[in-house]
Structures are given as structure tokens and as C-alpha cells.
Structure 1
Amino acid sequence: MRLKLEEIEVGGFKAFSEIKKLRLNSPVVVIVGPIGTGKTTILEAIEYALYGTLYSVKYRKELKSEDLINDFTDRIKIKLALVDSSGRRYVVYRSRSRDSAEALLEVDGKIVEKSWSKVDAKMRNILGIDLDGFVRQVALRSREIEDIIYGTDMQRSEALDRLLGIETLESIFRGIPLKLVEDKLEMLESELDFLKARLANEPSVEEIERELEEKKKKLLVLEEEIDRKKKALIEYEHELEKLKGKEKEYESLKEQEIRLRAEIKQIKQRLKKLESFTPTEPADILFEKAKSSIINGLKETMLYKDAEEVEKIEFSRDTIDSALQVLNAKIKRLEASLEDLNSELLEVNYQLASERNKYNLLRRKLAEVEAELYTLEKNYNTLRGLVEKYGSRENVRKRISLLEVEIEKLEKISEINKCVYNLGRSVISTYLKESSATCPVCDTELNEQQIKKIEDKVNLIKKEDVFLKREKLVKNLNELKRVYVKLSELEERMLRKNELELEKKSLENEFDEVSNNIEELEELVEEVNFK
């Protein structure tokens, strides 16, 4: 958001003991005056009103907040007004004593924030820049300007580094443990070499793509084949249901065939005797016997109308020829019925062959499932061993998270120790060379006793073996990660194992059912052939 300064009122702040008001709404504002009249103080008052502190207090530690209060007053009072491009007016009030602080933010005359910290956060959000960025990019301090214009090469370089944020990068760089970086680079190089060696034995991307295309084509063919098999299986199941419904009908027809064969055989034998030998019984009695046998056969085959016709035939010398013709015709009807029974028997044999094919298919499929289950059983034993040693996958995940937190903590400790160690060595080195040294934080002179404490601290850090602790934890972490991946793979295979066990049970039930059907059909066929 673009904001324009309108006016500022400041009192009790550094050089200003009384309240001064300054209009800042001109296109260009130039503040002119001798040294010590408060030119820099006005800029710092603007900075203090916007952010509630100064860069020299928060970052440079050159002053404390209480040092900003004028010696002849007991309270800072600052009011800063700003206007944005849409005409909205912002007014910031700041008031601070040595033991209390108050702040207020108004937008178009309406109070929006009342506490010091909330006004700070709101102004940072409105400005879109923090205090560090403000002093680097908006309000350059006179110290940096003097160092750039009049300073030595070293001072000019340091001033530019501060303005551009390079000193922060250098501080971060100095704080990075070089040993960790070197170890990380070495590990990455080892992984890279391993991957290169592995890729050298692998086919090219083009070959993999060609193989993938071939696999996709084969997969499509197999999917089509599976669809055809599924459709055929559904047809076989429907056909099996129909065959089961005809089982009783088959048994009835089988019994009828047996009886009809016997009756036809008896009738043929009787007719043959009638043709070859002189009857020992009267012709009318023989005729009645033949007639009775034919009627029974016709009724067995449910040819009731033909049976009624035979029952109406009367034996006499005048009608014997026509009666015999009728009996011969009915015998042919019985033979035709026998042929029908033979056709039914052929159909049963076809059903038997179908059931045997299904039996063989189920047996092969069952063998494949059992073979895969045998392999998965080994995976189950491996999974059980890993769980007994490391715990469940969830427990391993929790242990990984704890180790990562612990490693991160050790890395931070290592970084802090590195910075403290370097600073301590620098201070000790300076003291040994120049017999004096200043604190790198507060810039105060250090005595011999303080130097001794710093030296003890440096030696203590040197003895601490944080790096070895971290290496041990990293080794454990990598092992647990490999175990976690293995557990995930094995648990997925156990899901497959459960599916296969259910499929095996279903196949065994179906296999038993088909086996029983085959036994029944084979018994029926053997019985019919025997008779």
C-alpha cells in the first residue's frame, strides 16, 4: 500500500523536550539545521511511531527503550498522520514512560487497535515491510551514508553489506557447521554414484517405453481374454443351473428306458417265438399277453393315447392281421421312445464333460492360488519377525518422527555451539594478540576473568561429541525408514494374502460341488450302460 506522510507531533523524545509539530504533506520536505538540533530525531520519531522501536534499539543494541526519553521529561509522546492513495487517513499515537507504554491506531477517525503489540502488527501489515526492510530501503541512517561517502574501503564495504542484507547471509554462512555440509555432500555423492552404477545396467528410456507399450498391448489382450472367460463362466454357471433342474427328469427317463428296454426285449422274444414255433397256448391268450406288455410299455413312456388304442383291439380270426399291424406300429413307437432316451443319455454325457472341464479349470486355479499363498506365507513370517523386533508400522513411524526431532535439535545445538565456539576463539585470539578484547554482543571491555570463562566454555564445546551422537541417530533413522518401507510392502501383501485365502475357500467349495456333480453323473451313466 502506498502511504504519504501528512504531519508529525513529537515531544519528550531524544532531543525534543517539548512537543513540536511538523507538516510533511508537501511534495518535497527538506529539514535543515546545525548538528544536535534534532534532524535525525525527527526521522527516528517517524520510525518509532510506525514500528514502536528503533533499529538501533532492537538490532544494534546501542540504546535501550528508556534511553529514548528526554532527560527533562518523563514520557514520550508521538502522533504521526499518514494518507493512502484512496484518501484514507491513518493516525498513530505512541506514549511511553519508564514503566508503561500506550499505543493507539485510528483509521478515518475510528479506533481500530489499542494495544502496543497489535498496533505494531497492524502497521507492519499496512506498510507491507518490517523494521529491518524499512531502515535498509526507505529511511537510510546517517551512519551508513557517512560510511559510504567518507568511510574507508572496509567501512564502505560493511555499510553496503548492511544495507543489502549481505551481513545476514554471512552470519548464516558462518553458523553452518562445515562438517555437516561436507558429510551431507559426501553422502549425496555416494548416492549419486550408486544411482549412476545402477542406471548403467538398466535399459534406456526408449527401451523401457517400448517395453511398456508392449506390456500395455499384452495387458489389453489379457483383459479381453479375461472378459471372454468371465462371459463363458457365466454361461457355464447358467447351464449348470439348468442341468441341475433336469437331474430328476433324467433319473425318471433313465428308469423308463430300463423298463422299456426290458419290455421291448420280451415282446421281440415273444414275437420271434410266435413266428418260429407252433404256439403251445391258444392264440388269443398269446395275443392278450403281447397286448398287455405293449400297453404297459406305452404307459411307461406316457403314450396313453396309443395305449388306449391297443386296449380297444379285439382278437379274432378276421382281425388278427390288422391287430398285428397295430401292435407292430406300437412297438415301433416304443423303439422311438427308446431312441429319445438315448438322446437324453447323450445330453447327460455332454453335461458330464462340461462339469469335468470346469473341474479341471478349478483345479488349475486352485493350484495357482495355493502357490501364491505359499510365497505370501514366507512374507508373513518376515513381517512377524520385523514386528517382533521393531514393533508395528505405526510404532516405527512414531519412532522415526521422534528421531527426526532429536536430530534437528542436535543440529541446532551444533550450529549454536559452532557460532559460540567461533566467537569465543575470535575473542580469545584478539585478547592474546592485543591484551584486550570487547564483547561481540554489547561491545563492552572484557576482563581476564571473563576471558577465562569464555575459554572454559570453548573447551567444553570442543569436548562435547554432538556430531557422533547425531551420526548414531541418523544411522538408526535410516534403518527405521528402511524397516517402515518394508513393513508397508509386507502389509500390502498380507491384504493380498487375505483375499487369496477367501478366494481359496470359495474355490474349494465350488470344487467340492463340481466333484459331487461329476460323481453323480458318472454313477448314472454307469448304471444306464450296465442295464
Structure 2
Amino acid sequence: MGLKLKSAIISGFRGFNPEVKIDFNAPVVVLYGENATGKSSTLNAIEWCLFGSSEVVGEKNTGIRERIDWEIINRNAEKCYVEVELEKDGQVYNIRREKSNGRDNIYIRFSDGGKIEGKKAQEEINKLIGNFSFRDFMTCIYQHQEVIRYILTEEPRKRDEALDRLFGFSDYRNISEAIKKFSPKGDELEKKIDEIKSWINSRIDALNEIIKRRKEELSKKGLSRVDEKERISIAKQIKKLIEDFCSEIGADLSEKFSKIDLEQKEFVDVAEEEIRRLRKLIPEERKLNELVRRKTKINHYIDEYDDLNKKRSEVKRKIDKFVRENGDDKKIKEKVKQIEQTIEALEDQKEVMNLYALIIEKVMLYLESVEDKDICPVCGTRKKGLLIQLKKQWEKEHKEKFEKINKEIDSLKKELKDKERLLKDYERLIDDWKRADEGFRKYINKIRGDEKISEREDVRRKLEKILSELESEIERLKKSTSEKTARIEEIEEKIKLCKDIDEILKDIALREKIRDIVRTQEWKKLKELSDDFKKFVDDVERIRDAILRATKDGVDEIISNAGEKISEFFGEITSHPKIKKIKIKVEQNLRSGGNQYKFYDENDENLLPVLSQGNFNSLAISIFLAMSGMTGQKMPFDFIMLDDPSQSLGFQEKVGLIKILDIIAKEKDIIIATMDSELLDEIKKMSSEKKIYKFYKWTPEKGPEINEEIVS
């Protein structure tokens, strides 16, 4: 069992500032959000915590141009730290890396409370991961979006570089390019040779450590011998167990498995494929799968029913509150009518006052035109100061009454507008209610039709009853299939043992190929004739050729082991109508110092002219997933990380990718960073348990806000 990632605490690292803790205790964890919200920073933080600044910063180590002048500490923080919690065989390791004043420091806390730091902590990490290099981590554990981006380029040289990096051979390419470029002089020559020899020795030491650790793991499982003979012996046991199991369930062996030679490298993959096929043929297993699918459907009905009913109830609550506070539409309309009548009466009153004012005005005009201004022209009565008195009376009574009526009318009109607004609000609420009620009833009718529920039965209670019956039947079938499942698991354990031996033998072969570099006559001559510049250059070129051969052989071996799986994954993702199978062929590129990759279909037709950007992305993802699964239980980590894996993929390609990831998630945990809403929707359909974190509202000072979405 490898190391499982349980959680990460991040503070002051790149896009993060205040401390954030993220739990990864689920087979599938999704980091979802727009660009520049901290998703990639989360994956980078895990990478940095495990390997440190000297490995993850700069283009030289990573092969990623964006890592030039890469800043670790957030500009709004004085220091940063990342703490990851890893678990293996019941032992918990809390690894914490800090950076301040340009220096890294590393600590490890153990389950028993013990703590180490500095060099001892780094040595413990190397021991935990079996000297698994940062380059190995990039190749098999962490799929960087930048690598995918380089593969999508139309320039063949850059694409070949990215593929070398994806296959884990960019170090070889770098060394080959370095040998080609430098022209050593005098005492620099020996130093350069020693550097190459040191690199070769470090790779051999790393392989020795991996081989030793893997042999120790097999020894704990009872295998004292690891060789081809033991592998064939276990393969025979696997074949016999599968044959017996087929007889027990009344099934025939597949033609592919019955014809496979035990010595073929593909035996393990074919055996695994046969086991997956046989699982589906177990009658109870088929029935169980059907019931699980039906249970998921019923749960979806219940969730959707509750959601629609909740929305409907919420609208009803708003209507009731509105009526309590303002009355219903009938009361509001009555009030509107009262206000309109009052305004009309006041307007009539103003009209009467206007007529009276007109009479008074004419009387005053008449009095101003005659000499005797004290005789009333209407009744003939004499009254001293009549004109002055009329003017004062006019200004006082008429003006004040007019202003009072106008204010009252203005107030009533404002109240009228408020009532009309309330009436519109009420009508909107009623429309919302009708839509919510109609949607709810339509969904109820759909459920009744789908599940044959009568009008007399309560839909919600009936669904709960169906769900309860399904859960009881599922539990019963699980018990009845446990014996057959145990038999299959026994076979799978044997297959894992066989795979373990395959990987050790492959590592031994790779180690010998690397050793062959320094065993060549050219290498020996290089040491002897270092004073002869021209001869040295010739010898270096031969070494470069040896490295190129080793690079090509290494990739050829990977393609030999993983090629079928790459093609299978590519086909599953793309469902390309013209490509039934994809074959990768590798040639040495003497000019670049790396490999040149060509792609053909099952008829050996060149595929480069027909591969789209989405196809290249699918190919890159297929290579990464095949590489991450190729070593099976030998990986020191039981998780993989994918950064923006769906770039340039169409919808159907995303569906195919998620099908593959759903299978992989049963073997190892998967962490996916994406801004793709379509991909997120497909992830939610995965059968594996999942956690979804949504990243948003990122600021330089506070970093991202992160909320966990509850997934049913």
C-alpha cells in the first residue's frame, strides 16, 4: 500500500495568504473554480511540500518555462508553510515545509508524537517514497497543465520535448543536449565527465533502492524469490484459479485469455481484463448493479422532489407574509379605489373654489375701476374699505385652502403609487407560486408515470418505501455474493503479485541498460583520452548516441508495457470514428538529442494530419494515466493529481475521460483541478465517493474563498 494524502494546510504559498485546510479523504476530490482562484496553487503546494524549492522552481528541473522566476511566497506574506498529512499502513506522517528569508526548512511529526526536522526529515521522506524522484512524481503522479499545453503545440520539436517529459525521459534529453552544446576545456573536462557519471550512479542507486524496497514488500507477502521462474509459477496459479472460477459460475474463458502465453508481458493486463469480465457475469453481481443504479435513481427522485417542494413552500411563505402585512389583492384594490375617489372629490372641491375665486377677482377689478370703492356691485350695500377687505380675505382664505387641498392630493397620489406597487408585487408572487406549483406537480406526475404510483398514494412516502426495499435487497445480495467476491479478490491478489514481479524485473533490466552506458568502450576511452580534445568530442558523441539509444529503448519498453492501455484509454476518451487503435513509434532525433514521436492507426496510416488539439490532449492524458497505473502497487503514492485535464476536449471526450477515472478511483485517489463546468457535471455522476471544493473571490490579500459542495 502506498502513501495516501489525507489533508493539506496552506499558508502564504503563492495564491494563498491566510491559513487554509483542505481535506482529501475521498477517492475523488475536485478543486473547481475560474482561472486564478488558487486551484493550481493547491496542487503546487503539495508538490513543493514533498520536494522543496530546489526541485520545483525553475525550468531546469521541471522543464516548465513558467517556473522561471517562480515565486513561492505570496507577496502579501512574510513567510509561507505547507503541511500535508500522509497515511500508510496505519502510520500518519505530518510533513511540514516552511520558507522564510530565502530558506526552506522541513519537519515531520509522527503518530506517536515524535518529531524530526531538517536533514533527518528529508532523509525520512526519501525513505518513505523510496527515492522516488521529482521527475518520477511529474511523470506518474502530477499531471501539469503546462505539459499538456506543450503537447498541443503545432511545432513538432516542442511536442516531442513534452512527450519525452511525459514519458519521464526529459533528463536524458537534457543530458544529450548538454553534451552536444558544451565544448569542455582543460580541467573542466574531468568535472563534466564526473557529473555525467554521478548522474548515472544516482539513477542506479535510486533503482537499487526501489528494487530492494519492492523485494522486501514481496518478502512480507511470502515470496522469497523474485525471478522469471517464480513469475511464471504464479501466472499458472492465476490461470488455474480463473479456469476453476469459470466452471463454478458456468462461464467460458474469453478467447483472448485462453490464448495468452504465460510468458507474455501482457498476461497481467489480460488477466485483469478477464477478472473484470467475470465480475459482470456473476448473476447476483448483475442484479446488484441494477439495484444500485435503481437506488441512485430513486434517491435522485427524492432529492428533486424535496427541492421543488421546498421552493414551492418558500413562495407560499412569502405570499402569506405579504398578505399578513399588506392584505391580498382584493383588499389592496379596494384601498386603491378609495384613494382614487378621495382624490376625485378633492379635485371637484378645487373646481368649485376656482369659480368662487373668479367671481371675487371680477368684483375686485370692478371696484378698482370706479371712484367709489366702498359700494358692492352685487348687492349695492356700502361698506367702508370694501376693496381692501376683499383682497385680504382672498389672500388669506383662498390661498391657504388651495395649498392644503394640493398637499392632501399629493399625499394621496404617493399612497396610490405605493398600493399599485404592492399590487404588482403580489401579482409577481402569485405568478411565482403558479410556476413553482406547476413544476412540482409535473414532476410528481413524472414520478407517478415512471414508478407506476397511483393517484391515491403519497409519492414521497412511496419513494421512501421503494428505497427501503431496495436497500434491504441490496444488503441481501451483497451477503450472497461475498463468497464469489472473495474468490475474485484472491485471484486479484495473485495478479498483483505477478505485477509486482514484472515491475522488479523491469527495473532490473532498466538498471542494466543504464549501467551499459559506462560499460561501453567509448566511455572508457573518454576517461583515458581526456587530454585529446578532438578525440574526446568524438567519444562524447558516442556516449550521446548510447544515451539516445537508452532513451529510445526506455520509451520503447514503456510503450511495450503500456501501449495497449494508452490506446485503450485514447479510444475510450475520443471514440474517434476513424481511429480504432493508436500506435506510437519512436525514432532517435540526433539534432534535438531526444526522441521523435510518430502516431499511426491500426493500418499504419500516419495520424498527425487528422489528430485535433482535443485528440492530442486525449493522448497526453492517456499516456499519463497509463504511466500512473503501469507500476501498480509499486508506486510510493496512492493518489494522482490532474490539473485542467479537459483543456481542448469536447463534451463526449470529457465523458470518456470520466469513465476511465471512475475505474482508476477504485485503485487510487484522484485529485482534479478544473474550471470546466461540463467536466464537473460528469464527475458528479461518478460512482466513487467524492468531495467538491469551489474556489472563488480570490484576492491577493486573502487568497481564495473555498466552500465544500455537498454531493449526494
TM-score by length of 1: 0.32
Which is richer in helix? 1
Asked which structure has the greater CA Rg, the reply is 1
Relative contact order (C-alpha < 8 Å, sep 6+): which is higher?
Answer: 2
